[in-house]
Structure 1
């Protein structure tokens, strides 16, 4: 699917960083080859939950509460509501900009990015769905305003000069949260005499200073720990190409899908596939047709190699039924691989020593592993 990702992003951010867009495209990898997975449906709560958990929390490393993160996602959806095709690259760019974390994709550091993104999302979203129709606008706007402060703090921490002076005066965008507080009823008599806002000029600099300090320390801690970024979509193998001369980080653990899905990865320098299943099912996900390209290419380059297919199950239910289910899942994957053009004599069913996986999440246990032999 030919797509000018940069042009689409620049419909919303005129000076969008081409380096950042390219990095996001590489991060998403094969997801962009499929029309459905290259778009984001803001009306599908399961989809927006994945964006929150996999991109905002795992990739960007955000620790905000779910309401704040959902408000940011809704804000981007509102911003793009006039666009029939809501491209995933553009959605991720706008979210990273909103939280001031374009630097994770090679963008330039800047305090204004997070605060400006928060203001735009706040104006567009108008609070979460749960707050719709209520009179208390301050309650619905506050989480997103806080997200703006947090985004500004994270971006400022990337610049040494700002991190060294956490008590710097607030940026020009700081007045945005003032709107969220201005609808309050006021406090005691002294507040009423001054319009209920006498305390606000002191509160905002204090909040901003705390945000800068907190995220500055958190950013430094992340840098020292050298934690590799987490992957995103469950059925997608996403990698980021290291810069020339740089040492490639260790491959991150792929996210396990909720139910059926396929994850492509490498094991000891050879491609492998992990096919996950719904509870009690042996139906192979359609994602296999795309993910299997890596093992097909390896077999073509290494004629002596074969594929070992091993089925597993979770520990719940009847042991005999589970053993049969593991075998059926392995047979279904073998048949699917043959349908994709891999010769039958290249796909060998291999019963594992222990088909029932314990001590891990049940979703991770319901799987079939396809590994290269030879």
Structure 2
């Protein structure tokens, strides 16, 4: 999907760093090929939770409370509320700028973080006036039919409300307002606050500016001490955050949200991020490539991502003539069983047909019913899937 990511970011940050935008695009990788996963839905709590966990905590290395991070995300959402398409690249740029961490993506340190924090603080304050938001839910389900693979039900369910807590937004605004102070603690010398406290000292004193005795002349010195203590506190907080968010080495490959990195201890892939809607994730299982095909609710169309994702499986099968592909479906525990069975059969057959179009021999692609077709303990989006594994 062709998209001018830099132009979209510059709608909000006129001097956005092109290097940073390119690095974020590389980090997101295959997620940007799918229209749904390239956008961020601020009214979907599962989506904003993934942004918090995968980007703010894992990528940026933030250790703030969930409430503070959620409030920052809500602030960016309020800032972009007039934009019909909230591009993920732009959202991640604004969040990284808000926390002063554009350096992780090769950006320059300094004023950029402060400017982003100020902008996000205004947006978070405006968001505090919202009564709440409601997102269209995705309570669909899938089931199996005899020995045929499973998909999900008619995929219709109640929406999930995602009200924005005013207290959380207020915390984000406070944190954002504090960032500019913390961004340059060394520049705040004791002489700078002195003019600000001179007036209160005269106002509450005994009128004799040359005398230190009597009245409340000590109040100015107390205020100065408080200002210096605040500067020291935020300075230490900023340094601690910078140490926690260490940028990856130059030669380290970018991590895509839709491609699982290998587990260093087992050699197998860890759980990959689930696409928002239809998509394909290529992983490894027991040292062999595999594919997980996800579907939009109520549909059986296979994502175009299969063409690229299936390349590793095709190479393995071509190099191992005795290998076959097992196509197995899974479903969540909700929905009408009859509707689930028909939809799951159509989805499994769609994956088989798509693989044959990519050059896989028909006798090499076999529909296989798994021992347990119903998936519990996960969300419905994860259950709407068909797994393609290598046998032999």
Q: Which runs of 5+ in 1 are unaligned?
A: 157-166, 179-188, 240-249
Task: Give 3-state SS (helix, strand or coil) of 2:35's partner.
Answer: coil
Match of 2:352 in 1: 338
Q: How does 1:275-354 map to 2 (within 5 A)?
A: 275=293, 288-294=302-308, 296-298=310-312, 303=318, 304=321, 306-310=324-328, 334-340=348-354, 342=356, 344-350=362-368
1:249-294 Cα shifts (integer Å, max 9, x gaps): x976412579x8655123278642235699xx9x7775x4234223
2:118 is the counterpart of 1:119: yes
Which structure has the greater CA radius of gyration?
2
Match of 2:139 in 1: none
Q: How does 1:13-92 map to 2 (within 5 A)?
A: 13-92=13-92
Match of 2:12 in 1: 12
Match of 1:144 in 2: 173
1:51-75 Cα shifts (integer Å, max 9, x gaps): 2333222332222223322332232
Match of 2:281 in 1: 264
Q: Which runs of 5+ in 2 are unaligned?
A: 133-165, 197-214, 262-267
Task: Give 3-state SS (helix, strand or coil) of 2:327's partner.
Answer: strand
Looking at structure 1, the residues matched to 101 and 46 of structure 2 have their Cα atoms a distance apart, in angstroms, of: 24
Q: How does 1:220-259 map to 2 (within 5 A)?
A: 232=257, 236-237=258-259, 253-256=271-274
Paired positions, count: 316
Q: Is the 8 A contact 2:117 2:179 kept in 1?
A: no
Looking at structure 2, the residues matched to 190 and 276 of structure 1 have their Cα atoms a distance apart, in angstroms, of: 70
Q: Is the 8 A contact 2:325 2:364 kept in 1?
A: yes
1:60-93 Cα shifts (integer Å, max 9, x gaps): 2222223322332232233333433322211111
The offset of 1:119, in angstroms, is: 0.8
What's the C-alpha RMSD, in Å, of the aligned pairs?
Answer: 5.0
Looking at structure 1, the residues matched to 272 and 124 of structure 2 have their Cα atoms a distance apart, in angstroms, of: 32
Q: Rate the CA distance shift 1:38–1:368 in 2: closer, same or farther, 3 A.
A: closer
TM-score between the two structures when normalised by the length of structure 1: 0.63
Match of 1:103 in 2: 103
Looking at structure 1, the residues matched to 56 and 180 of structure 2 have their Cα atoms a distance apart, in angstroms, of: 12
